[in-house]
A and B are shown apart, each in its own frame.
Chain A
């Protein structure tokens, strides 16, 4: 119900907008065209410059651009200068086909496109291109003069590594594409561009390696992207939510990363990247559950080390999910499972705590979540303040006041630290949510409830798919050949094939003799 209403509203609001501009072709009179632009775009940052070209200064021309979106130096050097100052060729303008001349020999700029109607004109103008209009011609040019302030390539802020490349994507689409291209110098690396969002007209790029990626999945991605009809796309999250297979799930079925090496690696495995202008987070489909446990560093460090680190990650995943609920279950239902000495120690700490263990855990977990959220949102300058308050409130004071037991503080801290081990932030949030569900189950049914909750979770995971690929691959369905890169990572010479579950084409990655076999001297 709600969804439908929302759709209709958007459609309605877009209608009036579209009608006004649709299919209005350019006038052959320059003044009429410019007047129309002034009327449609009454903004201070739209610069309209009229000038005359040709030796006799007979032909009127106009250049329109949005200051801030263009590289002014470029306009100065390659458009205005070549049209207004260099006189040698301009004689011909007066008597021959001005359009062809301008395009073929005068405009010393990379990319030029013909424009015939106002819709294209505005699209190009607002994307940062400069428009050149000539009097007497019912067409214009769009010249590629994009250039705006951007952040520059910096170190990634969310997915850090010890060893590995330190660059990350930026908010500029072209920069992002470049970062990937620099890593895969293959003619089969395909790039398709789309504009999504009626008002924002956000550039969205699909990247994949032709012959490696599954065509069906590529088509599916294109289909899903084409289906999107929304007024604005401000971040890749919009796209993610609109194209994911299943909405009603806490688990992310689309992977995202701000690391070019991760995206390149995924492309090479046959996945498809969706890059959205305006955000450093690039989407990757299809995504598997295990992918969220992998970090690019796993492949840069030695295989045995990567195995160990992955083990720790799986352990941390489990801890962050069940530690508080297991504590609640064991201390309120299954005291006989504890070692006597431990039971006595826990019992001593519980003496005088006014809340039941469940409430105590809930209280602490919520306090921690608040602290965490506060730490994220508040100004950086007062960062230390929150850690002091956190340490005192969560730790010492609460225990000393007898409101919570010391063991509960340990449990909550362990959970908190474990949840930060996840390389993928979005999956960590999922577990954070599920943790509360499990705590409730543990408080009402003990370990029985936890197991039931976990079984439900696994069943749900089994039902998920990401662009046609079962989410739990290669566990369920079990793929023996793909175990080489799940819990342990084979040394690189052992990973001879791409994951078949992602794409069955061109699975061979290397000749089996990549391994060095030095002979003893």
Chain B
């Protein structure tokens, strides 16, 4: 018995030596960061952190203080800047709950490689946040806009990106793992969703911004930012972004339209899948894109009778052509303007023929611009919604 006790005491002593993670911190001793913005400031980095004010968000008795606050500092390295923040912040900043990281446009044009090193190396950060690029403004400004409904602006960006990716194709939620893989594997280049401030960006800073129905400043996601490796090279507009998502099989659901008798018929794409296959023929790489889409009729503005099988057939063909055009347009933009393989066609070639890829790897940029791409779209309309014929027809007859 005595020996047992001695052993137990010994065990407990070693236990206290073992605990390498002596990192106890109470919840009220830390500042929870929800968003991190990184900009360039001359040679240095300008780091902006959006910190929660928990009392304002969860408490029953709200004051008129803002729900979040931002601190910014500059530093030669991001790490230095983050530590410097403690001179401004009352508590140690805690990054595990970061929802979004936003790069300023200027920084993104330079390179996003270096800042990403810290973010993926530091143990505080998780990997479930999204990364965006601020368009026409600095990241620090984006973090200074208060949003309605969602009290935490970072959460607004996060959930808005998630829903828009699912419901409206032209955005893409990119996490850090995906991003790093995309610019390091040499077979593709990354894209990030861009965010802009709509309205008066100065007004977004104040509580009064959300004290009115139509906020003075709003955060808005707009299409994609195309990168070449780690450098921002251009912006894709809404249509081109959608094409991008069609190619990369990232369309969950979206809305498409075709003209019909001077008016428009819109469909809701409910299911879409894309197969990208590559092959190398006589040293020349080729890409075959096959899109299969299913849709429901969403809105009929013309007088066509959508209950008729022929009309549906006609519409299906029209939509297939439209989708193909969108995709082609997107590829054209990447080839001519960005000169960057944002779709990961290199990856497809590599998978199809790793041997051949070795040879064309060096000149992939040029190969990409000359790449022969075949696109096939199979579009099916499944249902016409809760009504059959449009009542536009009845009115006239």
Contacts and interface: CB of A to CB of B under 8 A. Distances in A.
B24 A333 contact: yes
Question: What 6 pairs across the A-B complex have the smallest Cβ distances?
Answer: A336-B96, A348-B58, A348-B54, A347-B54, A350-B27, A345-B58
- Grouping DSSP codes into helix (H, G, I), strand (E, B) and loop, the A interface class, with mixed when no group exceeds half, is helix
Nearest to B125: A336
B16 interface: yes
Given A348-B58, A352-B28, A353-B28, 15 more contacts: A333-B21, A333-B24, A340-B32, A340-B34, A340-B97, A344-B57, A347-B54, A348-B54, A348-B55, A348-B57, A350-B26, A350-B27, A351-B59, A357-B26, A444-B19
Contact of B1 (A248, A332, A444): A248
B134 to A, nearest CB: 22
Given A348-B55, A352-B28, A343 B21 contact: no
B272 interface: no
B46 to A, nearest CB: 25
Interface centre among A343, A349, A357, A452 (most CB of B within 10 A): A343
27 contacts: A331-B27, A332-B27, A333-B24, A335-B30, A335-B97, A336-B97, A340-B34, A340-B155, A343-B32, A343-B97, A344-B58, A345-B58, A347-B27, A347-B30, A348-B55, A348-B57, A348-B58, A348-B59, A350-B27, A351-B55, A353-B28, A443-B24, A444-B16, A444-B19, A445-B15, A446-B21, A448-B19
Contact of B28 (A248, A343, A351): A351
A346 interface: yes
A336 B54 contact: no
A80 B386 CA distance: 101
A513 B181 CA distance: 64
Interface string A323-336: 00000000111011
Contact of A331 (B23, B26, B32, B54): B26
Nearest to B8: A456
Nearest to A356: B26
A334 to B, nearest CB: 9
B28 A347 contact: yes
Contacts of A350: 26-28
Nearest to B152: A344
Interface string B83-120: 00000000000101101000000000000000000000
Contacts of A347: 27-28, 30, 32, 52, 54, 58
Interface string B158-195: 00000000000000000000000000000000000000
Interface in B5-34: 15-16, 19, 21, 23-28, 30, 32, 34
Interface in A349-363: 349-353, 356-357
A330 B243 CA distance: 44
Contacts of A343: 27, 32, 97
Given A344-B58, A352-B28, A335 B21 contact: no
Contact of B23 (A333, A344, A345, A353): A333
Nearest to A330: B27
Nearest to A336: B96
Interface in A167-209: none
B332 interface: no
B270 to A, nearest CB: 30
Interface centre among A336, A340, A351 (most CB of B within 10 A): A340
A332 B58 contact: no
Nearest to B19: A445
A181 B28 CA distance: 64
A349 B24 CA distance: 18
B126 A336 contact: yes
Contacts, number: 76
Contacts of B32: 340, 343-344, 347
A183 to B, nearest CB: 42
A356 B54 CA distance: 18
Nearest to B34: A340
Chain A, interface residues (CB within 8 Å), range: 20 to 34
A198 B16 CA distance: 50
Contacts of B23: 333
Contacts of B97: 335-336, 340, 343
A353 B55 CA distance: 12
Interface in B230-256: none
Given A335-B94, A356-B26, A452 B15 contact: yes
Contacts of A346: 27
Contacts of A348: 54-55, 57-59
A452 B11 CA distance: 11
A453 to B, nearest CB: 10
A351 B54 contact: yes
Contacts of A335: 25, 27, 30, 94, 96-97
Contacts of B99: 340
B25 A332 contact: yes
Interface centre among A335, A344, A350 (most CB of B within 10 A): A344
Contacts of B58: 344-345, 347-349
A348 B30 CA distance: 11
Interface centre among B1, B28, B55 (most CB of A within 10 A): B28
Contacts of A331: 26-27
A360 to B, nearest CB: 10
A356 B126 CA distance: 26
Contacts of B16: 444
Interface in A439-465: 443-446, 448-449, 452
B27 A357 contact: yes
A518 to B, nearest CB: 48
A341 to B, nearest CB: 8
B52 A344 contact: yes
A345 B57 CA distance: 8
Nearest to A448: B19
Contacts of A336: 96-97, 124, 126
B356 to A, nearest CB: 45
Interface in B29-58: 30, 32, 34, 52, 54-55, 57-58
Nearest to A446: B21
A332 B59 contact: no
Contacts of B30: 335, 347
Nearest to B52: A344
Contacts of A248: 1
Contacts of B19: 444-445, 448-449
Contacts of A452: 15
